[in-house]
Amino acid sequence: MQLIIDKDEGVKAFESYMKVAFPSLAQRKKKKDDEAKKLMQAWVGLGPLKVTPMPEVGPARSKMKQRATRVQNDLMERVYSKTRR
């Protein structure tokens, strides 16, 4: 009901309810945040990001498109082979 009356107060009321109902939830969230911070610090500690250009090998080909074309060709072969008989 608090959310209907005032959204800001409703969010605060829900958060305080969650803290009372699930006391370990705040500890788990803090632990998760601390792990994320450590990971970010380790990532930043590696130094600046270096980008090296890749040699040009031509346009990339889509495996999905190749498979679709092969399936379509196989289907057409079967249809045409039946009509030739």
Indicate the DSSP class of residue 12.
Answer: H
Over its length of 85 residues, how does the chain's per-residue pLDDT go in tens digits?
666 777 788 888 888 888 888 888 888 989 999 999 999 999 999 999 888 988 887 777 888 888 889 988 888 888 888 766 5
Is residue 46 left, alpha or beta, with left meaning phi > 0 and alpha meaning psi from -120 to 50? alpha
Contact (CB, 8 A) for 11 and 3 = yes
Three-state DSSP state, 52: coil
Kindly report, residue by residue over 5-14, the tens digit of the pLDDT: 777 888 888 8
